[in-house]
Amino acid sequence: MGTIVNPNVSTREKLERAQAASPRIAGLSTEQKNGLLLTMADAIETHAAEILAANQKDLNGSGVEGAMRDRLLLTAERVRAMAAGMQEVASLADPVGEIIREWKRPNKLLIRQVRVPLGVIGIIYESRPNVTVDTVALALKTGNAIVLRGGKEAFHSNQQLVEILSSVPGLPQGAIQLLDSTTRDSVQELIQARGLVDVIIPRGGAGLINFVVENSIVPVIETGAGNCHIFVDESADLDMADRIVINAKTQRPSVCNAAEKLLVHEKIATTYVPRIAQILSSAGVDLRGDKETIRLAGSVNIRPAGAEDWGEEYLRLCIAIRVVSDVEEAIAHINRYSTRNTEAIVTENEANARRFLRAVDSATVFWNASTRFSDGGEFGFGAEMGISTQKLHCRGPFALAELTSSKYEVIGNGQVRG
Amino acid sequence: MGTIVNPNVSTREKLERAQAASPRIAGLSTEQKNGLLLTMADAIETHAAEILAANQKDLNGSGVEGAMRDRLLLTAERVRAMAAGMQEVASLADPVGEIIREWKRPNKLLIRQVRVPLGVIGIIYESRPNVTVDTVALALKTGNAIVLRGGKEAFHSNQQLVEILSSVPGLPQGAIQLLDSTTRDSVQELIQARGLVDVIIPRGGAGLINFVVENSIVPVIETGAGNCHIFVDESADLDMADRIVINAKTQRPSVCNAAEKLLVHEKIATTYVPRIAQILSSAGVDLRGDKETIRLAGSVNIRPAGAEDWGEEYLRLCIAIRVVSDVEEAIAHINRYSTRNTEAIVTENEANARRFLRAVDSATVFWNASTRFSDGGEFGFGAEMGISTQKLHCRGPFALAELTSSKYEVIGNGQVRG
């Protein structure tokens, strides 16, 4: 290994190489980009053995166990899935060059807003090696250079993957840069590189995201945190509520669109609290609750929810339940404690649903569906870069279009301003 | 004066009040918002005498002279123009509530992306008091709370204006917050208030903008800097080039869309350099140039352009001229030195024009028109908040739509994820 992923090149120089590469990547046609993506997919399949061997070195590292081991682990099937993901991105529509809008002014100036690449995208992430491949695919498809700063636990896997992807013939030199993952210095330099990097996307735990948000002078798309709520209204179809709560809490508890809090309307609480507490408890969910919940739940074991519970993202089989007086109290609770990612209301009352959809200040709000659908794939984007929890640039699940900017091209015939 | 613009309220408390007000402002109907804007316009006209008196106090301040005095100065006519501006914003379409897109998934989930207010907008600006009124109008129209941090030289004018605007009946309490302009502490607190403020827009000189960009942990829309270029190509209609260059340089040299650099194709340089140098010099423009320009300009006095000239935004009657070998060298020069705001090509060659429009990495690129049209009003937006020189969220002239975010409202009938 080694000519492309060169440890002797400084972070600064890697960023400058990405910047220098960006106009050449932006200049690739859709056909050229798709061709590169398909060749990369083939290269991943061809070199599956080397990828698995590199991954094995990472798995042998110290402290790699439990959930981290699973996130880090590559299998033949997972390698095939990475290649398939690249083929999928090749099949999606290219957003670059799209005319967003076009109009003519009374003075005959023709103004056209055109979608263009962002330039250089920086991504800081943790253990999962598939993020390396997914990100390269999305960046290349949108005509951007990409700077990757993965986790040190995935060092060998990421080196091998970037070596394979970078070696594809026809890829502009410098298009993919992998930063040193063994030191935090590379993160520091990346987030200070305003002018060389156009956006930084942190993907990982709250600690990583907060560090990037608070220290970056490059614009950031904040992703990830999800303290998601479900409100079961007075008029809810309780069988539907059962299905949605169980799905949102237990189908994949470690992700940011899993439900973490359940709010129950007081008029149905006598019936619904013991019922859902029993169902959740049987599914192995650790329960917390306010006083009223504990009182109503009877024999089901519920621990008192402390003040810190309402703001916490458990990311495991745990949920806190609170009884609220009406939809307004539910909205107020959510807008106070939510991370503004995803929430849901279960109700047959359309007025309450409309009120909830409008007043809850979160990226995605569901009426009668599981919070687990807050996802680029489930939205039909064909891919996902993350879920934005900020309001600038993009909000909610985002993929290709959100990795672009725009410019105004204005055509005149000699107009000057009077 | 004094109950509304209370100097005893801390910056933190003002930000919290703005945050608390934001859902109430977001909940106003278009009719309510337009009614408030028209009442505010009336109030400005009714209280013109108090506004002018407050402005006089500012004008009497120490060090207020020259260009700053003109920027700070209010007249009866300028006060009427501020009121008219509010009426104009009332007449514009309300972007809030617009369905950006809507689609149904195979599982029957209906996904709707809806335009929503950003929440709380912070603006940091310098001397011109009309920015206070314009910003309140744009923020209110888009359902946002606004936090204003004006210049200390406009202290009395801004206090008086905010007092008048805040006193309009029906405006949600706390919607407009004016921060202390006598200390930098209020700026520091504002740019650290992530979670309370959704975006900060600095409007002013490069020093202010860079300070905000480098120190804010709240997302920023970078505005303003404009080292704008005009490239006169080999095939240009030279009479048109004269008109465009003169207009872009001299019509209003202090603004960010004025031309600062002129690039001339070498094949026409022998003719065009002396010609445009003579015209610019006669118009009182201070000229700089590379060696070739100086050689060709003959008797016209041109100072050698230093390395620092190519990156400088003069903001006065000064221009630097360089001879380039072709459109590619022009593009390379611009992409190296430009602030990525606005550039123009003058050419009759469509291929060169298309190449320039695509390859120049700036927010707005003109073909055969003056750079001075890079402006929200000239684009037909009916208003302008600024010109974004960053690629995230919005780029180029921006106004109402760019002061909004979006959310996904998803309607199901019990869907859970498999």
pLDDT in tens, A189-225: 999 999 899 999 999 888 889 999 999 999 999 987 8
| The model scores a pTM over 0.80 | yes
CA distance B238 to B393: 38
B247 vs A392, A396, A416: nearest CB: A416
- Interface contact flag, A367 B410, Cβ < 8 Å: yes
CA distance B277 to B297: 7
- Where do the domains of chain A lie, and which CATH numbers do they carry? 11-222+393-411 (3.40.605.10), 228-378 (3.40.309.10)
Q: Which chain B residues are Cβ-neighbours of A361 within 8 angstroms? A: 23, 119, 407
Residue B161: pLDDT over 80: yes
- Interface contact flag, A373 B407, Cβ < 8 Å: no
CA distance B108 to A121: 34
CA distance B406 to B412: 20
**Any idea which of A328-332, B106-110, B213-217 has the lowest mean pLDDT?**
B213-217
CA distance B345 to A417: 16
- Interface contact flag, A198 B405, Cβ < 8 Å: no
Model confidence pLDDT, tens digit, residues B116-137: 999 999 999 987 899 999 999 9
In the stretch 248-307 of chain B, residues with CB closer than 8 A to chain A read 248, 251
CA distance B65 to A329: 55
Tell whether B381 is within 8 A of chain A (Cβ). Answer: no
Model confidence pLDDT, tens digit, residues B264-301: 999 999 999 999 999 999 999 999 999 999 999 988 99
Q: Which of B164, B192, B194 lies closest to B178 in space, CA to CA? A: B164
CA distance A360 to A331: 6
Q: Which residues contact B9 (CB under 8 A, 6 or more apart)?
A: B17
Q: Which of A158, A185, A215 lies closest to A10 in space, CA to CA? A: A185
Identify whether the C-beta of residue A282 lies closer than 8 Å to the C-beta of residue A303. no
Select the residue from A28, A213, A410, A411 to test the B interface by mutation, using most B Cβ atoms within 10 A.
A410
CA distance A33 to A116: 14
Residue B62: pLDDT over 90: no
Tokens 């006209």 found at: B45
Residues of chain B with pLDDT > 90, as a percent, come to 88
DSSP bridge partners of B345: B231, B367
Q: Which of B214, B184, B122, B174 lies closest to B403 in space, CA to CA? A: B122
Q: Which residues contact A202 (CB under 8 A, 6 or more apart)?
A: A123, A124, A125, A208, A209, A211, A212, A213, A220, A222, A223, A224
A415 vs B119, B362, B369: nearest CB: B369
Buried b (16+ CB within 10 A) or exposed e, B342-352: bbbbbbeeeeb
Tell whether A100 is within 8 A of chain B (Cβ). Answer: no
Task: Output the CA angle B256-A25-A78, nearest 5 degrees.
Answer: 130
Select the residue from B29, B242, B388, B410 to test the A interface by mutation, using most A Cβ atoms within 10 A.
B410
**Residue B415 is which amino acid?**
Q
**Residue A384 is which amino acid?**
E
Could you tell me the CA-to-CA distances from A411 to B53, B346, B347 in Å, in that order? 46, 10, 11
Tokens linked to A58: 């990472």
CA distance A214 to A195: 18
Tell whether A348 is within 8 A of chain B (Cβ). Answer: no
- Interface contact flag, B407 A214, Cβ < 8 Å: no
Buried b (16+ CB within 10 A) or exposed e, A310-320: bebbbbebbbb
Q: Which of A407, A101, A409 lies closest to B345 in space, CA to CA? A: A409
Model confidence pLDDT, tens digit, residues A216-244: 999 999 987 899 999 999 999 999 999 99
Tell whether A336 is within 8 A of chain B (Cβ). Answer: no
Identify whether the C-beta of residue B403 lies closer than 8 Å to the C-beta of residue B139. yes
Identify whether the C-beta of residue B235 lies closer than 8 Å to the C-beta of residue B352. yes
CA distance B187 to B174: 19
What pLDDT shows up at residue A5?
A: 64
In the stretch 158-197 of chain A, residues with CB closer than 8 A to chain B read 194
Residue A2: pLDDT band by 50, 70, 90 thresholds?
very low
Tell whether A415 is within 8 A of chain B (Cβ). Answer: yes
Nearest-Cα residue of chain B relative to residue A375 = B417
Mean pLDDT of chain B: 95
B417 vs A194, A217, A372: nearest CB: A372
Identify whether the C-beta of residue A217 lies closer than 8 Å to the C-beta of residue B214. yes
Q: Which of B116, B37, B301 lies closest to A363 in space, CA to CA? A: B116
3-state secondary structure of B6: coil
CA distance A392 to A218: 14
Rg (CA), chain B: 24
Tell whether B219 is within 8 A of chain A (Cβ). Answer: yes
**Residue B101 is which amino acid?**
R
ipTM higher than threshold 0.85: yes
Q: Which of A417, A378, A372 lies closest to A399 in space, CA to CA? A: A378
Q: Which of A363, A339, A343 lies closest to A353 in space, CA to CA? A: A343
What pLDDT shows up at residue B2?
A: 46
* A240 Ramachandran zone, left/alpha/beta (phi>0; psi -120 to 50): alpha
